[in-house]
């Protein structure tokens, strides 16, 4: 029987290569290489208790470490290249676990796999593996043969190219030029920046451009893209590293870029080590269509490519489109089939927009008002002359107000503004554009002013859902106060404005006569009926009704139970039964044993914290979470803190995704409309996540670049 016929697939059943006849070694290696590593993705990996929880093999490791093999027989991991090419002298130096016994410490996770990948034994085996695949490669092409001087010069050139690219990535600027030839007066931002740095630093000039080997200047477009890719890889590692093994929520939305490609943006929301919720951009992916199944596949591919899985999701935040929130085939339903505790929250800021759009389109006077605003914008917007007239009139009024002391001077105040066009989902533009009318202007100005403050609060990255609900309730109360007690003050302000600008004020008891409008708007009513009842009260009532109907999350049992965690007023709303019921919403995170533990912890938790002065002035769940970590109480009440983190994961708004789209329009502009999807993803990540990007050590980026593709620094001839 030939050796090939005796080669089992399962690495746990294989015999060492050395046990075969020496003449058969290469044939056996070739046979296994043709098969590839044994990676049974569809296998149901068994769970076993390690420490305080059940753990199992993570199939994502197949993707992150291509050399990983899984033994079904031994429920263990083996190294494919070490099995084939391990040195005899490496025995007993850490490789036996991956070649003979099998590694199965699932609690250590990727750390152990990374440690093995960086070991000398594995690197030596991998070098032999690549040499076996490409026997014609010159030996001097290997990194081990580089001289110390070659390494030094190569690293210097790479460092200066990296620093120039880091600056351009941070600013979201283009790299290439229209003409990059040596004769061009503008060779693009990257080359010109490198030239500028070299011209002002003799140290840099010694190593780059004309003083570098002509075949190793490290400035080609391909090199630029690879360095950018390495920057993105290391930046993403920082984000994933901060996340660790914690659960997370996802925020997603799609939009069309300048090339008319549909791009899906994905952000993660998680609680960091300080106990504070944070949202970070993960990446963008091009999708051919926006069906829920396509979006789900794109999200899963993005997560898996970075070592994350759908099963760790504990919250979803999207807009209210049917493909997102559908109960049968919507994206939220497809995600919850993978992770039942991934509860969906309709973006609060988007709901607020829909409230105001419904009011603007549901009241005839509001419709007329915004039609006039749009007409005014069309008239003024197409003419530079009219723009100039409007600008001059504004400056004249501004100077008059400054002379009278009505306005203050200062940095950022009284700046020149353009005309913003009203839009349905950009409702705050109504607030900025409506300054030239009287009654409807003041009414919209008042309502949009209050709701604009609410919108800004909802879009804060650190907002928690319980506080968001409180803000919405406060907005409802404000509308109720305006309806019942705000009319007289509102009317006085309008009369003052009209008197100042020479606008005639009609008597409220007189008959209403519409100015410049069709007779079909004339009704048998006086001015008080029309302005106070029909418009003022009518609009406010409609807003109150829309707020109540659209923000239905307030009535969810899940959010009702969260209110029992509210730390304000010395935990006045605390309810142990509701907190325990809240824990039942997360059966995959809090086991039946944990529930018993939770009962005892809750009693101690509330008694101790109510007596502790450090916890007396807390106002929301974030304050509570941060204070627990600060005082090390999160370790004492570990189940309570776990539940609190799960609550904080629920997203309030998709503002982080909207900010990513704003960055996308800046990074992929009309002049850069041919940018590929991979480069776009890398540039967006480093541009949006600037803080993480600049925390990355240059040495890590350089090492990743060297590992990405082995290069030999050719000497200049």
Per-residue pLDDT tens digits for 251-260: 888 888 888 8
Residue 3 scores a pLDDT above 60 = no
Tell me, yes or no, whether 713 lies in a domain: no
Encode pLDDT of 120-130 as tens digits.
Answer: 888 888 888 88
- Would you tell me how many other CB atoms lie within 10 Å of the CB of residue 471? 17
pLDDT, residue 136, reads 53
Tell me, yes or no, whether 565 lies in a domain: yes
- My answer on whether 192 and 266 are in the same domain is no
Tell me, yes or no, whether 467 lies in a domain: yes
Tell me, yes or no, whether 534 lies in a domain: yes
- Would you tell me how many other CB atoms lie within 10 Å of the CB of residue 270? 22
Residue 223 scores a pLDDT above 80 = yes
Residue 140 scores a pLDDT above 50 = no
- My answer on whether 72 and 200 are in the same domain is no
Tell me, yes or no, whether 716 lies in a domain: no
> By 3-state DSSP, what share of the chain in percent is helix, strand and coil, each rounded to 5?
60, 10, 35
Measured distance CA(157)–CA(203) in Å, rounded? 11
Of 518 and 158, the one with more pLDDT: 158
pLDDT, residue 167, reads 92
- My answer on whether 342 and 242 are in the same domain is yes
90 — pLDDT class (breaks 50, 70, 90): low
pLDDT, residue 143, reads 47
pLDDT, residue 403, reads 65
Residue 367 scores a pLDDT above 50 = yes
Are the C-beta atoms of 325 and 332 separated by less than 8 Å? yes
Encode pLDDT of 636-671 as tens digits.
Answer: 888 889 999 998 888 877 778 888 888 888 888 888
Q: What are the angstrom distances between the C-alpha of 85 and each of 67, 226, 709? A: 12, 29, 21
Q: If you average pLDDT over residues 584-602, what whole number do you get? A: 87
Measured distance CA(587)–CA(595) in Å, rounded? 10
pLDDT, residue 414, reads 43
pLDDT, residue 120, reads 83
pLDDT, residue 708, reads 73
Share of the chain above pLDDT 90, in %: 6
Of 410 and 27, the one with more pLDDT: 27
Measured distance CA(692)–CA(121) in Å, rounded? 32
Q: If you average pLDDT over residues 475-494, what whole number do you get? A: 85
142 — pLDDT class (breaks 50, 70, 90): very low
**Residue 594: which of 584, 604, 607 has the closest Cα?**
584
Between the two ends of the chain, the Cα-to-Cα distance in Å is 56
522 — pLDDT class (breaks 50, 70, 90): low
**Average pLDDT of every residue of the chain:** 79
- My answer on whether 194 and 315 are in the same domain is no
Half-sphere exposure of 57 (CA within 13 A, CB side): 25
**Residue 166: which of 690, 667, 663 has the closest Cα?**
690
Angle between helix axes 384-404 and 364-381 (nearest 10 degrees) is 110
Tell me, yes or no, whether 8 lies in a domain: no
The residue written with tokens 């106070």 in the block is 532
Tokens of 175: 């790299």
The CATH number of the domain where 273 resides is what? 3.30.420.40
Measured distance CA(117)–CA(131) in Å, rounded? 18
- My answer on whether 209 and 258 are in the same domain is no
Q: Which of 64-78, 79-93, 116-130 has the highest mean pLDDT?
A: 64-78
- My answer on whether 202 and 89 are in the same domain is no
- My answer on whether 156 and 126 are in the same domain is no
The residue written with tokens 């403050």 in the block is 453
3-state secondary structure of 261: coil
| Number of structural domains in the chain | 5
Are the C-beta atoms of 514 and 527 separated by less than 8 Å? no
Share of the chain above pLDDT 70, in %: 84
Provide the residue range defining the domain that includes 185. 148-219
Are the C-beta atoms of 701 and 231 separated by less than 8 Å? yes
- My answer on whether 593 and 545 are in the same domain is no
The residue written with tokens 């790479």 in the block is 158
**Residue 154: which of 705, 697, 717, 708 has the closest Cα?**
705
Tell me, yes or no, whether 508 lies in a domain: yes
Strands 48-50 and 53-55: antiparallel
- My answer on whether 571 and 530 are in the same domain is no
- My answer on whether 499 and 360 are in the same domain is yes
Residue 421 scores a pLDDT above 50 = no
**Can you say how many angstroms the Cα of residue 283 is from the centroid of all Cα atoms in its chain?**
7
Tokens of 577: 């039964």
pLDDT, residue 552, reads 61
Measured distance CA(675)–CA(175) in Å, rounded? 11
Residue 220 scores a pLDDT above 70 = yes
Tell me, yes or no, whether 9 lies in a domain: no
Last residue of one domain, picked from the residues 526, 551, 576:
551
């Amino acid at each position: 029987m030939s050796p090939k016929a005796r080669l089992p697939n399962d690495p746990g059943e294989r015999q060492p290569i050395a046990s075969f006849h020496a003449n058969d070694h290469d044939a056996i290696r070739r046979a296994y290489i043709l098969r590839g590593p044994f990676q049974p993705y569809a296998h149901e990996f068994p769970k076993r208790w390690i420490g305080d929880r059940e753990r199992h093999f993570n199939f994502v490791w197949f993707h992150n470490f291509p050399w990983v093999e899984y033994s079904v027989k031994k429920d263990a991991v083996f190294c494919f290249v070490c099995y084939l090419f391990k040195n005899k002298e490496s025995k007993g130096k850490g490789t036996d676990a991956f070649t003979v016994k099998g590694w199965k410490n699932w609690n250590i996770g990727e750390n152990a796999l990374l440690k093995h990948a960086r070991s000398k034994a594995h690197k030596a085996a991998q070098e032999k593996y690549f040499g076996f695949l490409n026997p014609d490669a010159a030996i001097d092409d290997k990194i081990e043969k580089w001289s110390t001087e070659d390494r030094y010069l190569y690293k210097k050139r790479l460092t200066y190219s990296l620093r120039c690219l880091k600056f351009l990535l941070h600013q979201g600027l283009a790299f290439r030029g229209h003409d990059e030839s040596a004769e061009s007066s503008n060779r693009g931002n990257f080359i010109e920046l490198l030239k500028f740095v070299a011209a002002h630093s003799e140290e840099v000039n010694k190593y780059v451009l004309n003083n570098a080997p002509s075949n190793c200047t490290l400035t080609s477009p391909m090199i630029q893209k690879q360095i950018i890719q390495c920057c993105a890889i290391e930046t993403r590692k920082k984000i994933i590293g901060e996340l660790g093994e914690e659960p997370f929520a996802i925020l997603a939305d799609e939009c069309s870029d300048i090339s008319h490609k549909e791009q899906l943006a994905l952000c993660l929301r998680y609680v960091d080590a300080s106990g504070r919720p944070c949202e970070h951009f993960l990446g963008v992916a091009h999708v051919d269509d926006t069906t829920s199944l396509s979006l789900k596949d794109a999200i899963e591919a993005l997560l898996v490519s970075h070592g994350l899985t759908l099963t760790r999701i504990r919250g979803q935040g999207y807009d209210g489109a049917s493909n997102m929130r559908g109960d049968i085939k919507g994206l939220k339903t497809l995600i919850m089939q993978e992770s039942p505790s991934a509860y969906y929250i309709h973006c609060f800021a988007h709901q607020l927009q829909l409230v105001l759009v419904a009011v603007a389109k549901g009241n005839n006077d509001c419709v007329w008002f915004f039609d006039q605003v749009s007409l005014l914008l069309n008239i003024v917007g197409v003419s530079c002359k009219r723009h100039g007239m409007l600008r001059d009139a504004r400056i004249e009024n501004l100077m008059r107000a400054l002379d009278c002391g009505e306005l203050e001077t200062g940095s950022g105040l009284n700046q020149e503004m353009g005309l913003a066009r009203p839009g349905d989902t950009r409702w705050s533009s109504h607030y900025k554009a409506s300054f030239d009318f009287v009654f409807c202007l003041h009414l919209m100005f008042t309502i949009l002013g209050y709701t604009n403050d609410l919108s800004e609060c909802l879009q804060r990255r650190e907002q928690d859902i319980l506080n968001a609900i409180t803000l919405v309730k406060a907005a409802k109360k404000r509308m109720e106060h305006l309806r019942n007690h705000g009319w007289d003050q509102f009317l006085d302000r309008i009369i003052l404005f009209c008197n100042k600008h020479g606008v005639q004020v009609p008597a409220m008891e007189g008959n209403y006569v519409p100015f410049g409008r069709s007779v079909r708007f004339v009704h048998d009513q006086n001015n008080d009926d029309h302005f106070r009842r029909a418009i003022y009260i009518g609009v406010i009532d409609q807003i109150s009704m829309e707020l109540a109907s659209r923000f239905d999350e307030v009535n969810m049992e899940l959010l009702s139970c969260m209110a029992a965690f509210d730390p304000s007023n010395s935990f006045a709303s605390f309810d142990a039964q509701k907190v325990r019921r809240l824990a039942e919403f997360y059966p995959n995170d809090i086991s039946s044993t944990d529930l018993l533990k939770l009962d005892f912890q809750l009693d101690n938790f509330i008694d101790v914290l109510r007596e502790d002065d450090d916890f007396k002035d807390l106002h929301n769940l974030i304050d509570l979470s941060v204070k627990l970590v600060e005082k090390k109480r999160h370790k004492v009440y570990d189940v309570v803190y776990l539940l609190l983190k799960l609550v904080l994961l629920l997203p309030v708004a998709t503002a982080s995704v909207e900010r990513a789209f704003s960055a996308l329009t800046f990074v992929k502009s009309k002049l850069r409309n041919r940018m590929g999807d991979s480069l776009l993803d890398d540039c967006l990540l480093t541009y949006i996540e600037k803080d993480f990007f600049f925390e990355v050590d240059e040495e890590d980026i350089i090492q990743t670049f060297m590992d990405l593709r082995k290069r030999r620094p050719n000497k200049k001839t």
